[in-house]
Structure 1
Amino acid sequence: MSTFDKIFGKIEEIIAGICLIVMSVLAFANVCARYFFHASFSFSDEITTYLFVLLSLMGAAIAAKRHEHLGFTVIEDLVSPKIKRVLNFISYLMAVVFSALIFYYGILMVISQYNLEQKTANMQWPEWIFGSFVPIGAFFVLVRFLQILIHIIKGKNRKEERKALEQQRQEEMM
């Protein structure tokens, strides 16, 4: 695994971890506030929703890195290795195009939010701050799908990569 993959992977995991911690603390605090004070924090739903978007995209990137995306392998299991490689190429090419579109239109959305000076509903913060979570997350997903697509083009086997990744995870835990 390259230095880029290690650093990029750590950044993914840190962002996902921070999102999950902040979301959990806010949700717990909001529940406690409702129970004890019969009032809730108006901003917690807003922040939690935005963080969920970022966490979902970061989770998709982490799953792609680990080759753990859900897949429908019935057709793949019935065809020859050459056709399987073509099917993998097509599916990951579509994933790259899709994540690139999310990234591109996410940037356009953020630019629009910035130019229109949109504010969030409860906190009245600039909307582009939270809107930027979409292209940031999509960037990570795009990079991971591009890496897989490049591996497929080079002819590397995903199962071998997965075994090497599992072995590396076990070494890191020791």
Structure 2
Amino acid sequence: MVKKTFKAIDRSFAFVEEWSLFIAVVVALVTAMANVVLRKATSSINIYWSDEVVRKVIFFTTYIGCVAAVRSRSLIRIDALPQLFPVLKRLLTLVSHLAVLVFSGIMVYLGTRMTHMIYQDEYATTATLQIPEWIFYAVLPTMGAMMFLRTLIVMVEDWRGKGSDE
């Protein structure tokens, strides 16, 4: 039962990660390319909001990319010690996972508080597109929750010996 639940969560998260990252990058790429082409082809036409779109996409992809990094076991961690002392590999992997759980918990807590605070400010909108900023801040607790669950799944896989630890 737990295995099926973890597998369903993993597939759902993978779908959300892959498609949201794909769509965000395509939007940023098309917007930036259109702006460059228009700027070079004409001297008067410029998409004034393209820089803002690219900045927001970088923000989004950074945080959602963290969740994808947990899935592929690509988060930054110290791997010299396990190579020097192989007996410490499981312990250091556990410490790494616990650090990610603490980080993601902080992201949920602070991200929720920040999102709520920005939501209360009716003037907190993006400079050119006038999109409410709380929408972008909502990525933080969402990412934190996804990262927390994904890390728990990876920890269970490691515990059962099915992880692809390197």
Q: Structure 1: which 5+ runs fail to align? A: 164-174
From 62, 78, 81, give the equivalent of 2:84.
78
Give the count of matched residue pairs: 158
Task: Give the 3 Å change call, closer, same or farther, for CA 36–11 of structure 1 in structure 2.
Answer: same
> Which aligned segments of 4 or more residues in structure 1 are displaced greater than 4 angstroms?
none
Q: Structure 2: which 5+ runs fail to align? A: none
Q: Which amino acid aligns with 2:14?
A: G
Q: Deviations over 1:15-42 (max 9, x none)?
A: 1111111111111111112212334322
CA contact (8 A) 1:54 1:133 kept: yes
Higher normalized helix content (fraction of residues): 1
The answer for the alignment partner of 2:52 in structure 1 is 46
Task: Give the 3 Å change call, closer, same or farther, for CA 142–41 of structure 1 in structure 2.
Answer: farther
Q: Deviations over 1:120-172 (max 9, x none)?
A: 111222111222222223332222222223444xx233xx4329xxxxxxxxx
Identity of aligned residues (%): 27
Q: Which amino acid aligns with 1:60?
A: C
CA RMSD after TM alignment: 2.1
The answer for the alignment partner of 1:92 in structure 2 is 97
Q: Does residue 115 in structure 1 map to residue 117 in structure 2?
A: no
Cα shift at 1:51: 1.6
Cα shift at 1:13: 0.8
Q: Does residue 31 in structure 1 map to residue 36 in structure 2?
A: yes
Q: Which amino acid aligns with 1:122?
A: T
Q: Which amino acid aligns with 2:31?
A: L
Distance in structure 2 (CA, Å) of the matches to 1:132 and 1:52:
15
Q: Which amino acid aligns with 2:110?
A: Y
From 145, 149, 156, give the equivalent of 2:160.
156
CA contact (8 A) 1:53 1:133 kept: no
Task: Give the 3 Å change call, closer, same or farther, for CA 111–51 of structure 1 in structure 2.
Answer: same
CA contact (8 A) 2:108 2:140 kept: yes
Q: TM-score, normalised by structure 2?
A: 0.83
Q: Which amino acid aligns with 1:65?
A: R
Task: Give the 3 Å change call, closer, same or farther, for CA 32–4 of structure 1 in structure 2.
Answer: same
Cα shift at 1:100: 1.7
55-64 vs 132-141, greater mean Cα deviation: 132-141
Q: TM-score, normalised by structure 1?
A: 0.80
From 134, 137, 140, give the equivalent of 1:131.
137
Q: Which amino acid aligns with 1:61?
A: V
